[in-house]
Amino acid sequence: MTGRSAGSPSRGPIQVTAIVPQLVHQTRPASPASSLKTRDGQTIRYLQLAHNGWDPVAKASKTRVLYSFGREDQLDIAGVRRLVDALSRLLDPADALAAAAPAGLSFVESRPLGGAWLLDGLWRWLRIDKILQPLVGSARREVDVERVLFALVANRALAPSSKLAASEWVCQDVHLPGLPHVTDDACYRAMDQLIEVEPALTRGVYDQIADLLNLEVDLLFFDTTSTYFELDEADEPLWRDERGTVVAEGDPVAVKQAGFRTHGKSKDSRDDLPQVVVGMAVTRTGIPVRVWCWPGNTSDSALIRQVKTDMREWSLARVVWVADRGFASAENRRFLQQGAGGYILGEKLRAGTAEADVALARQGRYATVADNLQVKEVNIGGDDRFVICFNPDAAQRDAAVRERLIAQLTDKIDGSDTLSATKRAELRGVISTKPGLNRYLRVTPGGLLRIYAAAVKAEQRLDGKYLLRCSDPKLSAEDIALGYKQLLEVERGWRDMKTTLDLRPVFHRREDRIRAHILLCWLALLLIRVAETGTGHTWGKIRADVERLHVGVFTGPAGTFCQRTELSQPQKALFAKLKITEPPRVINATPATA
């Protein structure tokens, strides 16, 4: 939503925009013949809402009474206010402000206020402003770095854009508390300072949210994603340590050469483009507590060890780490158990590991823990516990997908027996590029193509199932399964990062600014998760409700002042649930200079 000027057209329904400007600008409060005198000489005035319209037949202007208010001395002022408020709801916020302009004042423009006001309230409630101010206090007094960083975070949550566009958004399209304008250079300088104070900021923010939200960090969920760049060439390789940090050539900690934006295994199916790898840890309620960023060719396997080392510095109590199959190596499991820690990790069923084969072969009954989840714990020896989870709905979907793939494969190989050996080999090569089909293909000793019945039967055993490995002896099988299922909170975080907050496209090339951009997205995700947790609504609904709260600028001989629109009931409810003070009716006033 952008700022609106007094002359801009309304964006409401067509029938409203065609009529309301006439009601506002071409009506008069009373018709000339709306008064009479009593026998004692007293004049009684009657108020009417009338409209002058052109009569094409009579070729003259005629007055039509739209509404009668009754006697002036008995006017229901409260009723008039209700009528005006009801009519204002039909208008765009800018038009409503223009219609309510006080006498002698001109309406200049309107900008959205509600979203920025709500985010600023959460920002201050989490004391992020107090954490940042001593960290980024610089000699450049012409700009408040903390306010600029808040503006960039608010931009990601409300109208994601490049930093150049974000500066224009601040100056022209939104009313941000404490920041009337900003330049793109100030945005870049603020980002440079942000990345310098990242360790202190992330620790300070965690301490605040852990206290204010009573966070349960007995389970921490970790996963990674990748985000790509529209580039033809990757970054120049530089020497880096095992954490992906740039070091000098010859430094004892240097382990590899890699560009930051470089090619790797893409989780967005864009292996053709350079990327970076991003990791995130969230609580069981979906609150993101920290993000990390690595070069694009970094494999998942060792990352969780770095993450645990970083989090160890925060002096957390005993934590059980929850992660997907990519982090289940023996080295990772040993590392996660250090310091009385634990893990719940997904185990690969199709890898043919001894543990998976033995677990699936064990008999036993499933216990239903939810409508779509059944669990069975199996004892295969050793210190780890194994839980098989079964989702009946997922089993039906797996079976349907397999049947479709087998039908496609059958169609492709039908009649291939009559082909020459060369043509069959070519067909075999084509199918090998399609993993879903290739899984069910068998080649006979004579080179004939057949459906692999044994593979189909093996897959049937896995329909709707996944296997979990847990080191904690106290958690029940149900807790293990439900805990792992909450790993979806990380997936939800990535989905919101890439859609609502526009993690990509990233409009930066420097490594430090790419990292700063990801930090800004993390802070924005933190604010919207707190808003969702506090209200029970999605951020999409919250944003839609509060962004209709505008502030209008009025000017006249006495000066200029800003006044907000009336608060709707949904807006009042949102501010109340989040314990955010409602914005004042008059935001600020500037007397005219002599």
- Write out the DSSP string of 120-146: HHHHHHTTHHHHHHHHH--S-TTS-HH
Range ranked top by mean pLDDT from 54-63, 114-123, 466-475: 114-123
Cα–Cα distance between 374 and 141 in angstroms, integer? 61
Cα–Cα distance between 578 and 541 in angstroms, integer? 15
Q: Is 17 a residue whose pLDDT tops 50? A: no
* Contact in structure between 47 and 72 (CB atoms under 8 Å): yes
In tens, the pLDDT along 239-269 reads 998 888 899 988 898 888 999 999 998 888 8
Q: How confident is the model at residue 13 (pLDDT cuts 50, 70, 90)?
A: very low
Cα–Cα distance between 293 and 246 in angstroms, integer? 13
Q: Is 106 a residue whose pLDDT tops 90? A: no
Q: How confident is the model at residue 35 (pLDDT cuts 50, 70, 90)?
A: low
Per-residue pLDDT, 81: 67
> Which residue in 283, 295, 132 sits closest to 203, CA to CA?
132
CA 360 to chain centre: 38
| Of 107-116, 137-146, 358-367, 428-437, minimum mean pLDDT range | 137-146
Per-residue pLDDT, 504: 86
- 334 compared with 31, residue with greater pLDDT: 334
* CA-based radius of gyration for the chain: 32
Tell me which DSSP letter residue 262 carries: B
| Of 159-173, 277-291, 308-322, 483-497, minimum mean pLDDT range | 308-322
| Of 263-277, 315-329, 502-516, minimum mean pLDDT range | 315-329
Can you name the residues that pair with 468 across neighbouring β-strands? 346, 387
Q: Describe the crossing of helices 539-546 and 569-577 by its angle, rounded to 10 degrees.
A: 120
Per-residue pLDDT, 103: 60
| Of 30-44, 135-149, 160-174, 364-378, minimum mean pLDDT range | 30-44
Q: Is 15 a residue whose pLDDT tops 70? A: no
Q: How confident is the model at residue 7 (pLDDT cuts 50, 70, 90)?
A: very low
The alpha helices in 302-450, defined as continuous H runs, are 303-312, 330-336, 354-361, 392-413, 421-432, 435-438
Per-residue pLDDT, 6: 41
Q: Which CATH number fits domain 215-364+474-502: 3.40.50.720, 3.30.420.10, 3.30.56.10, 3.40.50.2000?
A: 3.30.420.10
Which two structure tokens, joined as six digits, stand for 298?
Answer: 């970094």
Cα–Cα distance between 321 and 327 in angstroms, integer? 10
In tens, the pLDDT along 540-555 reads 999 999 999 999 888 8
Q: Is 147 a residue whose pLDDT tops 60? A: yes
**Unique residue bearing structure tokens 């082909």:** 419
Q: Mean pLDDT throughout 116-145?
A: 87
* Contact in structure between 50 and 65 (CB atoms under 8 Å): yes
Q: Mean pLDDT throughout 400-409?
A: 95
Per-residue pLDDT, 24: 34
In the chain, the percentage of residues whose pLDDT exceeds 90 is 50
Task: Count the neighbouring beta carbons within 10 Å of the beta carbon of residue 4.
Answer: 25
Q: Is 170 a residue whose pLDDT tops 90? A: yes
Which two structure tokens, joined as six digits, stand for 490?
Answer: 């990380």
Per-residue pLDDT, 237: 93
**Unique residue bearing structure tokens 């090998």:** 432
Q: Mean pLDDT throughout 270-279?
A: 92
Range ranked top by mean pLDDT from 216-230, 353-367, 489-503: 489-503
Cα–Cα distance between 277 and 420 in angstroms, integer? 46
Per-residue pLDDT, 4: 42
Q: 229: burial class by Cβ within 10 Å (0-12, 13-18, 19+)?
A: buried
- 430 compared with 556, residue with greater pLDDT: 430
In tens, the pLDDT along 52-95 reads 788 888 888 888 877 777 787 787 877 776 776 666 666 666 66
Q: How confident is the model at residue 412 (pLDDT cuts 50, 70, 90)?
A: very high
Cα–Cα distance between 503 and 227 in angstroms, integer? 8
Q: Is 100 a residue whose pLDDT tops 50? A: yes
Q: How confident is the model at residue 519 (pLDDT cuts 50, 70, 90)?
A: very high
Task: Count the neighbouring beta carbons within 10 Å of the beta carbon of residue 181.
Answer: 12
Per-residue pLDDT, 328: 86
Cα–Cα distance between 234 and 245 in angstroms, integer? 17
Task: Count the neighbouring beta carbons within 10 Å of the beta carbon of residue 591.
Answer: 9
Task: Give the residue extent of every domain in the chain.
Answer: 1-80, 114-201+518-537, 215-364+474-502, 393-462
Beta strands in 446-570 (DSSP E): 449-451, 465-470, 550-556, 559-564
- 376 compared with 48, residue with greater pLDDT: 376
Cα–Cα distance between 308 and 310 in angstroms, integer? 5
Q: Mean pLDDT throughout 181-195?
A: 93
